[in-house]
Amino acid sequence: MLSFVDWKISYKIQSIVATIVVITMIGSAVAFSNVKNLGYEIQGIAERDMPLVAALTEIEINQLEQAISFEKILRLSGHGKGTAQDLKAVEANFTKYGTMIAKEVDAVRELIAKSLKADHLSALEKDELTRALAQVEIISKEHKIYDHTVQKAIEQINAGAEEQELTGIISTIEHEQEKLITEITGLLTEIDRFTAKALLTAEHDEIAVERTLMISALLTLVLGVGIGTLIGRSISRPVQGMTEAMKTLSEGNANVDVPAQGRKDEVGEMALSVQVFKDNLIKNQEMAKQAEADQAERDRRVKLRDQITAAFDNDVTSMLKSVNVSTQSMDETAQSMSAIAEQSLQQSSAVAAASEEASVNVQTVASASEELAASITEISRQVSQSTTIAGTAVVEVENTNSKIQGLAEAANKIGEVVAMITDIADQTNLLALNATIEAARAGDAGKGFAVVASEVKNLANQTAKATEEISLQISGVQGATQEAVTAIGSIGGTINELNEISSAIAAAVEEQGAATQEIARNVEQAAQGTADVSSNIEGVRQAAGETGTASTKVLEVSRELGEESETLSKQVEKFLNDIKQA
């Protein structure tokens, strides 16, 4: 629910008017009620109490007139002081006053009965009027008794009764008259009390009306002034605060609080408008700061762009120089690879020749082994010629040993050649790795050179694998050769034993047969090894040829890379010029 401060100004003004109207209406209603009661009371006094007093007064006066008339009747009837006509006249007056009293009593009865029918009577007033009506009935009854007694006395007087005879009835009449006068006086007193009470109530109601009107006027004045002051302050103070805030904001200072923003009336709406003005001022100030920051950022970027361009120029120039140097180095490396490949081809040809020679030597060893076997067989048949054959065998063994030693030396030379080929393959692999690194530095321009370098590296790896296999085969040949040397030594020992121990020829022949078979088997393996060496050397020769071809390609790619590097240098120079002019 909205508080009074949040009400619209029009509602506040209307609330003042409504409050004044309500207070006025309440005061008017109370005053109207009091005036109405006052009117009823005045009306009751004027239309009921005063007529009742007047009627009862008339009744009392008429009753006194009747008493006077009865006194006159008594005086006129005594001692013959009055004539019959005078007496008749007085009797007529008595009757007339009696009739008038009866009419007045009826009028009083009718007036009280009419008053009892009024709606505005209180219970107390109704009770008082009811008692008054009962007293009127008593008065009417007493008056009738009084009239009847007086008429009876008049009849006795007219009948010539003596004064002494009338003493009793006169005493009764006097008593009834006093009683009647007392009732009338009592009723008059009661009516006077009613009237006085009504007058007092009317006076109180009049005072209440005046008091109500004064209180109503005072409340209207106080509330009007109070609410007006409250409304004025609730409007003037925030407006004054907003005026100060607007003045501060107009000076460009946004460090000010806008008052009355939480209010829901027109002042709150004005405060919201001032707050919007403040927010816009802050936003404009922030936009100005942002514009300054953006300009500073643009200046920084221009400066940074110049720095980056200069650094890029230096880096690219240095890189292009490095590429040129690498290209020259690659060219030299390619030429070196070509020379190494040619040398590898020559060495592989030499290795092939040596391998052929080793193969011939192995065949010779095989033939010698066959001859040795034949000799041993002949020994078993020709024991008598053992010495001669043994000598021949010794000679053959020495020859064989010499050939086996030559085979061992050839195998060692092949091993050296294989080691040299391995070194060449490692160097080729290293050169291919350097070429790959230089191609990576060259970027897209060195992709073709990278492919060639990769092929050279693959060929170098294949060469390394081939030489490794040759090394294994050479190791086998060397092992077989060593075994052959050992076997030949055993043969020599055996032949010497044949010269010394003839009795053990059979056993020696058997041992020589086994040794000869082992020699033949080893010689066969040596022959197979030399054949493998020849085949592998042919592969090495082919690889050396491919290496030469690859080195030629590397040389071509190196030259192309140099040309691309020069083109790249021109493009970079053009790009930097465009950037500087932008």
Q: CA 284 from chain center: how many Å?
A: 28
**pLDDT confidence of residue 245:** 81
Left (φ > 0), alpha (ψ -120 to 50) or beta: where does 162 sit? beta
The CATH number given to 330-562 is: 1.10.287
Q: What does the pLDDT look like over 342-351, one tens digit per residue?
A: 776 676 576 5
Q: What is the band of 491 on the pLDDT scale with cuts at 50, 70, 90?
A: low
- Would the pLDDT of 99 be above 90? yes
**pLDDT confidence of residue 531:** 65
**pLDDT confidence of residue 270:** 77
Going from N- to C-terminal start, the domains of the chain cover 19-243, 330-562
Tokens of 65: 């007139």
What does each C-alpha distance from 155 to 74, 361, 443 come to in angstroms?
12, 216, 171
- For the beta carbon of residue 293, count every other beta carbon within 10 angstroms: 11
Tell me the C-alpha distance between 22 and 11, whole Å: 15
Which amino acid would we find at residue 393? A
The answer to whether 268 and 11 are in contact (CB under 8 A) is: no
Tell me the C-alpha distance between 168 and 176, whole Å: 12
DSSP 257: P
What does each C-alpha distance from 524 to 60, 473, 511, 530 come to in angstroms?
191, 14, 20, 10
Q: What is the band of 97 on the pLDDT scale with cuts at 50, 70, 90?
A: very high
Q: What is the band of 365 on the pLDDT scale with cuts at 50, 70, 90?
A: very low
Q: What is the band of 203 on the pLDDT scale with cuts at 50, 70, 90?
A: confident
The answer to whether 491 and 508 are in contact (CB under 8 A) is: no
- Would the pLDDT of 289 be above 90? no
Count CA atoms closer than 13 A to 237's CA, side-chain side: 9
Query: Across residues 289-309, what is the average pLDDT?
Result: 83
- Would the pLDDT of 1 be above 70? no
Coil, strand, or helix at residue 15?
helix
Average pLDDT, the chain: 75
